[in-house]
Amino acid sequence: MHCLDCRVPGKTSTAVGVRHDCGAAVCREHTLVAHRVVRGGRLLGRPGEVTVRTIRCTTCAAAQAA
């Protein structure tokens, strides 16, 4: 699989992950590793929270920051 952002004539980069937001393949150069909180557990009472890694590309990260 190749990086979507590197898809220019004559250039291919091997993907190292899949973006969380848009689902496209991303290479190391275009990868941003962020952290987010995932909540789960019981419906009543205090739910559990876990911090997990998420992979974003520079395009999606810029769109979320705006």
Handedness of CA 18, 24, 27, 30 (dihedral sign): negative
Q: Which domain holds residue 22?
A: 17-65
pLDDT at 56: 85
pLDDT at 22: 85
What's the distance, CA 6 to chain centroid?
16
CA torsion, points 47, 53, 58, 61, in degrees to nearest 10? 10
Which tens digit of pLDDT belongs to each residue from 8-54?
Answer: 777 889 999 898 888 889 999 888 888 888 887 766 767 788 888 88
Evaluate whether residue 5 is within a structural domain. no
Evaluate whether residue 56 is within a structural domain. yes
Q: Which residues of 26-61 are buried (b: 16+ CB within 10 A; e: fewer)?
A: bbeebbeeeeeeeeeeeeeeeeeeeeeeebbbebbe
pLDDT at 15: 92
Domains in the chain: how many in total? 1
Tell me the β-bridge partners of 32. 56
Q: Is the model's pLDDT at 57 over the cut of 90?
A: no
pLDDT at 14: 93
